[in-house]
Amino acid sequence: MAGAHSLSLSFFFSSLVLSLSAGSVFSATFTLVNRCTYTVWPGILSNAGTPQLSTTGFALNPGDSFPISAPTSWSGRMWGRTLCSQDSTTGKFTCVTGDCGSGALECGGGGAAPPATLAEFTLNGANGLDFYDVSLVDGYNLPMLVVPQGGTGGNCSNTGCVVDLNASCPSELQVLNAVSTSGGGGVGGGPCVACKSACEAFGDPKYCCSGEYATPDICKPSAYSEFFKNACPRAYSYAYDDGTSTFTCESADYVVIFCPTPSAR
Ligand SMILES: *[C@@H]1O[C@H](CO)[C@@H](O)[C@H](O)[C@H]1NC(C)=O
Ligand SMILES: *[C@@H]1O[C@H](CO)[C@@H](O)[C@H](O)[C@H]1NC(C)=O
């Protein structure tokens, strides 16, 4: 054990030296923390043209935290998958919310099926600033908070959605978990486990800010986007919510917390 440990440590340092000399200096550490009372399976999707991180999906037990290094100029998103299980016959791994379609623990380039709360990052963007936000544009599945640490400049503050919107989600937006019946295949009827965006629920361009509504002066907040905005004023509630929902920091690390407050588990 001890031998294997020091071997992996020396491997770690030699790969660190290698990557430093190759110029891909790590620029930020993301620490994912699960304060939910249930297991969360984080998913990570790198944007096109930026490298994948060391993991794209894993299990995070209640109370656990997991640090991940990201290289300079990384951009992508993180979310939490809930109610995941592996099929005992096919071995296929699926989640009731936030599923990334890979059929496995690692998402490997798959994004979250909506509805899912998303934390979005662009490191070292315009003026060297990191841009970050928590988005409910693709709906909501669990409370998330992004806490920048050690950063300067910009409006470098916490952002997220800390309340449990499953409980207050309008019925037409609710995703109900299947009730497992002995006959199998029960659909709906269970508790609300996620809350759709109006765009996903109705597909209407005026909610999606698509088609003739694809400009900020035409696509306005709706009663549905205002439901999200009132509950979570710092999170994106619809596509053109940038002014109150984008935050910036310089040289920060980020803690990404699932279920940050005890009242929102
Ligand atoms: C919200 O959904 C999660 C699973 O995604 C569930 O554990 C939690 O109990 C739900 N909250 C409410 C209030 O139903
Ligand atoms: C934070 O700063 C950015 C960049 O200047 C700005 O676009 C955004 O509106 C600011 N966010 C808030 C919530 O004030």
CATH numbers and ranges of domains, the chain: 27-162+230-260 (2.60.110.10)
Query: What confidence score (pLDDT) does residue 163 get?
Result: 93
What is the per-residue pLDDT for 237?
Answer: 96
Q: How far is the CA of 45 from the centre of ligand 1 (A)?
A: 24
Q: Are 260 and 162 in contact (CB under 8 A)?
A: yes
Burial profile 2-36: b = 16 or more Cβ within 10 angstroms, e = fewer: eeeeeeeeeeeeeeeeeeeeeeeeebbebebbbbb
Which ligand is nearest to the Cα of residue 244, counting in written order?
2
- What average pLDDT score do residues 62-80 get? 97
Q: How confident is the model at residue 21 (pLDDT cuts 50, 70, 90)?
A: very low
pLDDT value of residue 235: 97
Decide if pLDDT at 12 tops 80.
no
Percent of the chain with pLDDT over 70: 85
Q: Which of the ligands is closest to the CA of residue 192?
A: 1
Nearest-angstrom CA–CA distance, 134 and 232: 10
Which of 141-145, 205-209, 230-234, 259-263 has the weakest average pLDDT? 259-263
Output the six-digit token pair for 161: 């959605």
Hey, whose CA ends up nearest to atom 1 of ligand 2?
247
Indicate which residue's Cα is closest to atom 14 of ligand 2.
244
CA of 63 to the centre of ligand 2 (A): 32
Decide if pLDDT at 247 tops 60: yes
pLDDT of residue 22: 43
